[in-house]
């Protein structure tokens, strides 16, 4: 244990000192240039390490991925658009697309809605009660996706049911159903109306509501009291004040939370992989990619999946950048 801690501290120290030394050397080199050129080159010199890291860790892998998407499974022969055509004729991939669309439609909106609800209700509590409530709601954020998936797998756990000889249910949800006089279900296998997919969404929502609550609570507290009091003086009800005064002023934060969760949802993988591994029509693009890459060993098709996902994320990123610019202009 001490060896691991020492190694971690050494890595941090070397990283920080190395970065400081790098920028010091860059600054010294730029200072050797004539005055006019020093001022022109210095900004680019300080940006160079970040640009190099982005190029090496992001742009170069992206270009390689696009190139591999036009190659065969072994990555040693070009096959044109065959990977893309086979993808969109694969029922499993189309199922994963539909499921991802459902995740996109429901999860970000529900996370923002519950985050707003919890934030506005918690702000009405006393100071101590507010801290306790927010800490408990934020607590799932400390749990990994895999850990949360294991927890909820136990909650959804199902023991085969015989009405004549009922066995005790170890899953919390099924135990509640039994206590209420119902019949326990194998929740993660019910694909009717995509019920099992929605059951997986609950896990992600449970994890992310705390994150949304923290940011939205800060945005709500930043709304000037004068505008709220003015609304009350004019006779506005509390719901009207919330939707017409508070939410519009906190809207930039709402959009930021929504888009952040949306991007996470588009590449969701851990929950589906741990809880169902894409079975029972619950597959998503992230898990489909994993199966193609590491189960089927098809580099070309897996790369094509990644390219499709990148193309799908680009409009979201463009919208995010535009929102940031609008926020900057309004300040």
- For residue range 254-311, list pLDDT tens digits in order: 998 999 999 999 989 999 999 999 999 999 999 999 999 999 999 999 999 999 988 8
Inter-residue contact 160 to 167 (CB < 8 Å): yes
Residue 227 pLDDT > 90: no
Q: Which residue has 């954020």 as its token pair?
A: 141
Q: What is the pLDDT of residues 113-127, one digit of tens each?
A: 999 999 988 888 888
Band of the pLDDT at 43, cuts 50, 70, 90?
A: confident
- pTM confidence score: 0.86
Residue 331 pLDDT > 70, yes or no?
A: no
Of the ranges 12-21, 155-164, 221-230, 293-302, the best mean pLDDT one? 293-302
Residue 120 CB partners (closer than 8 Å, separation 6+):
220, 242, 246
Q: Which residue has the higher pLDDT, 277 or 322?
A: 277
pLDDT for 325 beyond 70: yes
Question: Who has greater pLDDT, 14 or 189?
Answer: 189
Identify the band that residue 138 occupies on the pLDDT scale cut at 50, 70 and 90: very high
- Average pLDDT in the 201-215 region? 95
- At 34, list the tokens: 């004539």
For residues 282 and 201, give the distance between their C-alpha atoms in angstroms, rounded to a whole number.
11
Q: What is the mean pLDDT of the chain?
A: 89
Is pLDDT of 252 > 90? Answer: no
C-alpha count within 13 angstroms, C-beta hemisphere, residue 278:
21
Mean pLDDT of 47-56: 87
Instruction: Classify burial at 57, counting beta carbons within 10 Å of its beta carbon; exposed 0-12, middle 13-18, buried 19 or more.
Output: exposed
Residue 71 DSSP SS3: strand
Spatial separation of the C-alpha atoms in residues 184 and 28, rounded to whole Å = 71
Q: Report pLDDT for 110.
A: 96
| Whole-angstrom distance, CA of residue 75 vs CA of residue 257 | 39
Q: Is 78 helix (H, G, I), strand (E, B) or coil?
A: strand
pLDDT band at residue 107 using 50, 70 and 90 as cut-offs: very high
Joined tokens for residue 166: 């009922």
Contact between 170 and 159 (Cβ < 8 Å): yes
Q: With pLDDT > 70 as the criterion, what percentage of the chain qualifies?
A: 99
Q: What is the pLDDT of residues 75-97, one digit of tens each?
A: 889 999 999 999 999 999 999 99
Which residues share a beta bridge with 78?
71
Adjacent-strand bridge partners of 71: 78
**Residue 217 in contact with residue 130, Cβ under 8 Å?**
no
Task: Read off the pLDDT of each residue in 94-117 and give the average, rounded to a whole number.
Answer: 94
Phi and psi of 202, rounded to 5°?
-60, -35
């Amino acid at each position: 244990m001490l060896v691991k801690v020492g190694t971690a501290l050494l890595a941090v120290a070397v990283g920080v000192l190395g970065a400081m030394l790098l920028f010091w050397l860059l600054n010294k080199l730029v200072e050797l240039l004539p005055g006019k050129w020093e001022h022109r080159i210095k900004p680019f010199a300080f940006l160079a390490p970040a640009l190099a890291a982005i190029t090496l860790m992001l742009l170069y892998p992206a270009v390689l991925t696009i190139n591999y998407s036009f190659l065969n499974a072994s990555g040693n022969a070009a096959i044109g658009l065959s990977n893309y055509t086979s993808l969109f004729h694969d029922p499993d991939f189309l199922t994963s697309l539909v499921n991802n669309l459902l995740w996109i439609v429901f999860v970000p909106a529900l996370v923002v809605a519950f985050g707003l609800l919890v934030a506005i209700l918690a702000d009405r509590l006393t100071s101590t009660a507010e801290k306790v409530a927010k800490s408990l709601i934020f607590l799932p954020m400390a749990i990994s996706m895999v850990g949360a998936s294991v927890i909820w797998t136990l909650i959804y756990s199902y023991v085969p049911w015989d009405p004549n000889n009922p066995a005790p249910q170890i899953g919390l949800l099924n135990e509640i159903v039994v206590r209420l006089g119902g019949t326990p279900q194998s929740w993660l296998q019910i694909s009717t109306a995509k019920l099992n997919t929605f059951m997986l969404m609950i896990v992600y929502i449970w994890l992310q509501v705390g994150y949304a609550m923290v940011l939205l609570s800060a945005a709500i507290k930043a709304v000037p009291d004068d505008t709220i009091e003015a609304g009350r003086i004019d006779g506005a009800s509390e719901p009207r004040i919330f939707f017409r005064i508070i939410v519009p002023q906190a809207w930039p934060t709402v959009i930021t939370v929504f888009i952040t969760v949306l991007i996470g949802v588009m590449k969701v993988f851990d929950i589906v992989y741990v809880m169902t591994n894409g079975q029972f029509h619950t597959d998503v693009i992230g898990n489909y990619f994993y199966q193609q890459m590491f189960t089927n060993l098809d580099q070309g098709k897996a790369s094509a999946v990644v390219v499709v996902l990148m193309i799908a994320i680009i409009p979201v990123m463009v919208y995010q950048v535009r929102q940031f610019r609008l926020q900057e202009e309004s300040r």
